[in-house]
Every structure is written in C-alpha cells, then in structure tokens.
Amino acid sequence: MVSIKDVARVAGVSNKTVSRVVNKEPNVRPQTIDRVEQVIQQLGYVPNLSARLIRTKRSSTFGVMTDLVTTTPYSGDIMRGVLDWVKENDRTLLTINTDGNPEQEQLAWRTFQEHRIDGVLYVTMYHKEVELRQTVLPTVLVNCQVASTKGLLTPSIVPDDYQGAFDLTRFVLEQGHQRIAYIRLNPELLGAQLRYQAFLDATLGRDDLTIDIRIGMVGPVGREDNRVFAEVTDLITQKSPPEVIICGNDEMALQAFQAVMIRGLRIPEDISIVGFDDFQTISTRLHPPLTTAALPYHALGYQGAMLLESLVKGELSSIKPILLPCPLIRRESTISAFT
C-alpha cells in the first residue's frame, strides 16, 4: 500500500510537505501543492486513518450499541438518523448488535475501547428503561433512559409518549366523543405506561364519559399474546358500542380495523379509530388512513448523535433527558360526533 513516504519521494519533497498538503495546512507554495497532488492522484495515495489516530488520539468514529429487539420495524429509522448526522459531520460509525444481552454488551464495550471510539450511542429499538453497567466511554442513550438516580450522569433522548397520547386523547374529546374504548399495549413497554397515563390524565374528571379499557397484548416483548381482534369484536357487539377506539399503537389499530370491517361497520362513520406510532405501512395503507401520533425515530437518531458530539466536546450544559415531541397526525379514521 502506498504511503506518505512514497508520495514524498516521487514528488521530490519531504514527508512533512506531503502531510501539509493532505491536511490543507498553510505555508506551502501553490506549485508544490499542485505537484504533490498530482503525485497523490498518480499513485492513488489514500491516507491511513489508523496511523493518524495513533498520533492524534481522535478516531473521529462513533460506536452504536443496539439491542435490535424491535416492536415496529420502522425503529430502524433511528439508525438512519444517526447515519445521516454522522455523514454530514465527517465521522464514521461502528455498529454492534448485542441483542440486549449483558455479556455481549460487555464485549461490545471492549471492542469500542479497542477501536478508540470517541463516543457511544446506546440505542434501544423501543422506548424502555435500562440498567447501564459501565460507561467507560462518553455515552448517550437513545430511545431509552436509566432507571436509577445514579445513572443521571448519562444524557438521553427519548420520544415524548406522554405528550403524544395526551394530545391524541384531547383531540378525540374535542371531536365530541363520549363513549371511548382504550386498548392497552403490553405494559412491559415504557411507552405503553406513559401513553396510558396520559390517557387517564386527559380524561380525568370528565364524568360525562363512558370509558372501557381493555388489554390488547401481554407477554414478553416481541412474542406477546395478541388479543386485540377478540377484544374489539367484543367491544362493538355490546349493546352500546364505543364511538371511538383508541389503540395503543398502529399495529393494534390494524387489528381493530379488521374486526370492525368484518362486522360490516364503517370507519369513521360508525366508529372512529386512532393509533400511535405512525407506522407508515399500516397508517397510510389503511382505508381510511389512520389518525395517529408519530414517533420521531429519525430525529432520535440524528439528535442523539448531535448530543453525543457535544458531550464528547465537553460542551454539554444540561444532563437531563431530552424529550422529542410525537406530533398528532390527523387523517380520516376519525370523525366529529357533531356532524
């Protein structure tokens, strides 16, 4: 492989001059620059970042550690966000999948150290609480947060499930609906708890409402027992069925749609349905398309990387978790009760 010395020899200059040209340092005569660049082209010289790292101690590389336990495949957009930031900021990305396994995480930390990574993004594919064993390297949590108070030293960025669900519920109430069904997500998910709590808070003190709460899925994350279809079927065959069904997420909304359609009811004329996530393959492909709240996956990754950069540079002022809004996406699966 051709090195800086080869270039220097052929160009008839010293190593240092080549180095200056490559790194665009000042104080080189334009003619010399030209000549050196010619030789670089001609020999196909490409600088060796590893050699540079030994001297500078800055790898300009971030590591991503992820569990890849996914509830919706769109969470892959987090990675996309990270990759986009990294590309725009001349860094590179080392990715390791640990399946959420502590032993594999241990190995991952070690690998990152061996590569002299500048910082680590600890990414989970669904919003959850984690226990962080070690942070030998500057670390930012993406889509997850530490439970214990001692972990407050690790900055994190998460979606604002509470705000999203609160806005969604308020929207439904503004539509004038009074008989409301709520299908809960797997309580194991942190997002499920936040969304449910927001629903309760947003409906608090409204005694004019009739609220029917069901549990849609239970069991270990990713392999849960799905009861949504049965629950919705039960709901709509009651004497006085709900006017609107709020589903814990879009995947559940898909189930609800089918249960309703098979019964010959129309959406939204007979019953309104809302989801959560804005899982596009579902939300935009349903007839009618789904009113939901969007999880800001791409932004989580992008801003998470940004956050890590400022952490690495020591420019981070506050350490408290950053909440990214989940905007209400209003589509045609909901209708006003007043019309």
Reference 293, options 326, 267, 325, 324; nearest CA is: 326
Verify binding: residue 51, a copy of itself, rule CB under 8 A: yes
Which of a copy of itself, DNA, none interacts with 258 (beta carbon under 5 to 8 A by kind)? Answer: a copy of itself
Binding characters for a copy of itself, 228-267, by CB under 8 A (x = yes) = -x---------------------x--xx-xxx-xx-x---
Residue 312: CB atoms within 10 Å: 17
Please write down the HEC assignment for all residues of 248-288: CCHHHHHHHHHHHHHCCCCCCCCCEEECCECCHHHHCCCCC
CA–CA distance, 140 with 123 (Å, rounded to integer): 8
**Chosen from a copy of itself, DNA, none, partner binding at 255 (C-beta under 5 to 8 Å by type):** a copy of itself
Residue number with CB closer to a copy of itself (94 or 322)? 94
Nearer to a copy of itself, 54 or 319 (CB): 54
Assign 222 to helix, strand or coil. coil
# residues near a copy of itself by CB under 8 A: 51
Nearer to DNA, 12 or 220 (CB): 12
Report the nearest approach of DNA to the CB of residue 37 (Å): 12
If the CB atoms of residues 29 and 150 are measured against DNA, the closer one turns out to be 29
Instruction: Answer with the entry of a copy of itself, DNA, none that 230 interacts with (C-beta below 5 to 8 A by kind).
Output: none
Residue with tokens 């690495």: 312
Binding pattern to a copy of itself, positions 116-135, x when CB under 8 A?
x-------------------
Give 272's strand partners: 244
Q: Which does 226 bind (CB under 5 to 8 A by kind): DNA, a copy of itself, none?
A: a copy of itself
- Least separation in angstroms between CB 300 and DNA: 34
What pairing do the DSSP bridges indicate for beta strands 139-146 and 119-130?
parallel
Prior bond of 288 cis (ω within 30°): yes
In the complex, the residues that contact DNA under the rule CB under 7 A are: 1, 3-5, 12-17, 19-20, 22-23, 26-29, 31-32, 45-48, 51-52, 54-56
What is the spatial distance between Cα 219 and Cα 187, in angstroms, rounded to a whole number? 9
Largest CA distance in the chain: 92
Rama region for 119: left / alpha / beta (φ>0; ψ in -120 to 50; rest):
beta
CB-nearer residue toward a copy of itself: 82 or 202: 82
Q: Are 191 and 159 in contact (CB under 8 A)?
A: yes
> In the window 80-119, what residues touch a copy of itself (CB under 8 A)?
80, 83-84, 87, 92-97, 104, 110-111, 113-116
The smaller minimum CB distance to a copy of itself, of residues 13 and 254, is found at 254
SS3 205: coil
CB 111 within 8 A of CB 96: yes
Could you list the residues that contact a copy of itself (CB under 8 A)?
1, 46-51, 53-54, 57, 59, 68, 72-74, 76, 79-80, 83-84, 87, 92-97, 104, 110-111, 113-116, 226, 229, 251, 254-255, 257-259, 261-262, 264, 279, 281-282, 285-287
